[in-house]
Chains A and B, each alone.
Chain A
């Protein structure tokens, strides 16, 4: 298995909703990442997990809350989002933080 999977593919939520994005990989990678990508822009790093511990938070607002339940799973919990948070959210993983990152297909999030 050489892929990163993400669910759901699309998500529409209101500003008062609570939702979660899920990411899974079975490549034995020990580093996992969340990126945010706006249309026609490069991805922006949000969080880095290394060996299931949060190692980097790129000054992301607290309405985004990451969680790494085990070495194969990465969640992103969403609460009280704003319309400007609408974007493609990409998950990636790598053997460790210096190796090639493999990206998932993304979750297209729309906040109404």
Chain B
């Protein structure tokens, strides 16, 4: 069964601090892995996309890593801002258009 598991389910951090979100997957065959940011009641916004051969990808203060051997990915947020408060979703692509979504990690940044 194709699964994507994220941890933690939620976390609270102080503004300016860093945090790391985890994603483990059992999706096969693997095509690519994407991290999306979704604000409440809004559509997901793509942050990064990585293929099998890529180990790390950055987008501003967001850095994603991928270990295709262990089927693990992480998203690191540096110097968090209040606007980073959102749900972060790990999405693994397999078999053309099919996406397997994680349940997301809800991040709350407090001043």
Chain A residues in contact with chain B, CB under 8 A?
4, 6, 31, 33, 41-43, 45, 48, 50, 56, 88, 90-92, 94, 97-98, 100-106, 108
Instruction: Let me know if B99 is at the binding interface, CB within 8 A.
Output: yes
Dominant SS at the A interface? Answer: strand
Q: How far is the CA of A35 from the CA of B81 in the complex (A)?
A: 29
Give the distance to chain A from B43, nearest Cβ to Cβ, in Å: 4
Q: Is the CB of A104 within 8 A of B43?
A: yes
Cβ–Cβ contact A42 & B101, under 8 A? yes
Measured between beta carbons, the chain B residues less than 8 angstroms from A50 are 97
Q: Show 14 A/B contacts (Cβ-Cβ < 8 Å), sorted by A.
A: A4-B43, A6-B43, A33-B97, A42-B89, A42-B103, A42-B104, A43-B44, A56-B97, A92-B43, A97-B97, A100-B46, A103-B36, A104-B43, A106-B42
Q: Are B41 and A106 touching (Cβ within 8 A)?
A: yes
CB within 8 Å for A98 and B96 given contacts A42-B89, A42-B104: yes
